[in-house]
Structure 1
Amino acid sequence: MPRVSRLVALASAALLASGGAACSSPSSGEDGGSGDWSPITIEHALGTTTIESQPERVATVNWANHEVPLALGVVPVGMAAANFGDDDGDGVLPWVEEELEELDAETPVLFDEADGIDFEAVADTRPDVILAAYSGLTQEDYDTLSEIAPVVAYPETAWGTPWREVIELNSQALGMADEGAELVADLEEEIDTAVADHPRIEDRSAMFLTHVDATDLSEVSFYTTHDTRAKFFEDLGMETPESIATASADTDKFSLTRSTEQADTFDDVDIIVTYGGDELVSSLEDDPLLSQMPAVENESVVNLPEEDPLGTAANPTPLSISWVLDDYLSLLDAAASEA
């Protein structure tokens, strides 16, 4: 039996065995009433998805998509286990744990995505919709998941959906577009209020280096303007260096690599953000080429811990923003004082 057909068969069998029990469902339809649902059509990079009826069982894959329904009071039946910044190893980040506690809900089924999407595990949760507005789905992934339930994929670039659009698309799929818009407005207000307390970072230029190999600094990689980490700098009142904007203009990739010999390209960068520790910063400072970058020379480097929830601070998600915002701004502020 073909794999996708087998997945559908598994899901159907599980649904019959359980009597079709459902999890939390959206509180309102697209037109504002739970009793009147009009089909919702969402276009995205991998196709067009139509949600014919109000979803009651919501599954999510890849990073952070589960945070949208949770923020709107809907508990998913299954979601991806956290594989970054999970300090206690339970697969759930602290802001998600807090939201589940507030909703008096059990932890949903956690999908292990260490080796890619676990399609059978997703099928076993019998979802009515699968949210993946922020994801790196391939066309094959999307097609396979679509055999299970309607799938909402990213609008343009893999791993490049800004947090506002993640909320917009995922909430639309739930029939909760108005609630999603309200969530966006609340977070924007919270960000603006917090940023006002850190005037030193205003108009500072920043770049985000990807995971740097301190043992081999012959090349450096960085996130382009298509990546949510780089986009978040603008939310914080900071600027995109011209060097990063120029490099990003001719690609749709979320990261690029340059030879260290081209380090002088980034002379317009005031602050560097990266993942690592003091050893990494020391390596940058000791390198004869990278040490000449103004941000390194001025010790204006923010090194986020990889094994701590704070390490996810630079990648804004609906629930994490409130949890890490003050700490992240404090780190950027300290770096700005050296720039």
Structure 2
Amino acid sequence: MSRTPGASRRRLSRLAGALLSVLLLTTAAACGSSDDGSGPSAGSGKDASASSSAAPEAKAFPVTIAHKFGSTTIKSAPKRVVTVGLTDQDAVLALGTVPVGTTEWLGGYKGAIGPWAQDKLGGAPAPTVLKDDGTGPQVEKIAALRPDLILAVYSGLTKSQYDNLSKFAPVVAQPKEYNDYGVPWEQQTEEIGKALGKPAEAQQLVDGVTAKFAAAKQAHPEFAKATAVMATPYEGTFVYGTQDPRSRLLSDLGLSLPKDLDKVIGDQFGANISKERMDLLDQGVAVWIVPDLTSAVTKLHGDKIYGDLNVVKQGREVFVKESSDYGNAVSLSTVLSIPFVLDRLVPQLAAAVDGDPATKVDESAS
């Protein structure tokens, strides 16, 4: 399953399936083993890690990080970081390091760096973008970048992929206590902070975003009395589970997710629901990530079962265009993209749950 529904319309990636052969891996590692300091980066021969800022914190290394496949020890400060995790680049940038390689998921941004993170490049060239064609990480291209650290925190890395990537650099995989692609943004930031030797700085970043959530909840106590769900019209109705970062945006703002949500979708980040379970959408607010704000909404409201729900009749819906910067930021939900999201999402949620059907939800942000 693609990390996000609608792969055909958004060129989305999935870290699953067969890897390139070990022969390719070995060949690629050899090709990337020169010591001349040069490495490919998008649009430039310069090393994209050159603008990596402050030194690691005292006694930060060696550090051992536990994950789904055991643990990984990083002996010294990494200088050439490749992000296989689909959103890991934002935490790396926030901590002052420009990756030499990133994995493209959505948005089509240069270097896979969204507008909320562009200033973190600090004048450095954009990273080389690795595209996943459905067979997993591009091992040959990753090896050619000569990484000294590979981050796959927000990922669905398999054991065989982990083992093969570990042959030429330390790999920090997804944490075992969450579903694949289910790591909270806080833990993602903290683990990447440890890997880069900046745990205290990572905690400061987390505290800063947490304070924004707290301020929004204080300004909108009505959120604590409302339920909410996040969905997309993919092959019917696809609902995101409690461990998905998009759903966590809602719960972190104080809204409650449907009690039996995970029971319905299982141990995935989300799943399609049947017509019989459309009641999951009849919440205090339904947030929809849609391909188009006009045709998608018309189609949804034209469905008799959904159209008859109170959430529709009482105007308690929020629509976010998936291919917009706003929609991309919602899907990424990182330490850098979340402030960008909250500026737009909080006013929309407030309008949807205010109890007045006449209040229009502003969709101009999409």
Q: What is the TM-score normalised by the length of structure 1?
A: 0.85
Instruction: Calculate percent identity across the aligned residue pairs.
Output: 33
* Match of residue 287, structure 2, among 270, 273, 279: 273
Change in 2 beyond 3 A, CA 1:243/1:6 = closer
Q: Which amino acid aligns with 1:7?
A: L
CA drift of 1:245 comes to 5.0
Q: Give secondary structure in 2 for the equivalent of 1:326.
A: helix
1:98 and 2:119 are equivalent in the alignment: yes
Q: Which amino acid aligns with 1:160?
A: G
User: 2:188 matched to which residue of 1?
Assistant: 166
CA RMSD of aligned residues (A): 2.5
1-structure distance, mates of 2:130, 2:184: 23
Which deviations, in whole Å up to 9, do the C-alpha atoms of 1:107-164 show, x marking residues without a partner? 1111122444222121111111111111121222222221221111111321101100
1:189 and 2:202 are equivalent in the alignment: no
Change in 2 beyond 3 A, CA 1:313/1:90 = closer
1-structure distance, mates of 2:86, 2:313: 34
2-structure distance, mates of 1:270, 1:173: 40
Q: Which amino acid aligns with 2:183?
A: T
Q: Which amino acid aligns with 1:284?
A: L
1:139 and 2:159 are equivalent in the alignment: yes
Which deviations, in whole Å up to 9, do the C-alpha atoms of 1:64-120 show, x marking residues without a partner? 101112101111111123x4234x6774321222221xx221111111224442221
User: 2:129 matched to which residue of 1?
Assistant: 110
User: 2:8 matched to which residue of 1?
Assistant: none
> Is contact 1:5-1:147 (8 Å) kept?
no
User: 2:342 matched to which residue of 1?
Assistant: 325
User: 1:304 matched to which residue of 2?
Assistant: 320
1-structure distance, mates of 2:64, 2:197: 11
2-structure distance, mates of 1:37, 1:296: 52
User: Which stretches in structure 2 are left out of the alignment for 5+ residues?
Assistant: 1-19, 40-46, 358-366
1:259 and 2:277 are equivalent in the alignment: no
User: 2:234 matched to which residue of 1?
Assistant: 212
User: 2:363 matched to which residue of 1?
Assistant: none
Q: Report how many aligned residue pairs link the two structures.
A: 322
1-structure distance, mates of 2:330, 2:223: 15
Q: Give secondary structure in 1 for the equivalent of 2:260.
A: helix
2-structure distance, mates of 1:16, 1:89: 26
Q: Which amino acid aligns with 1:256?
A: A
1-structure distance, mates of 2:323, 2:154: 22
2-structure distance, mates of 1:117, 1:18: 25
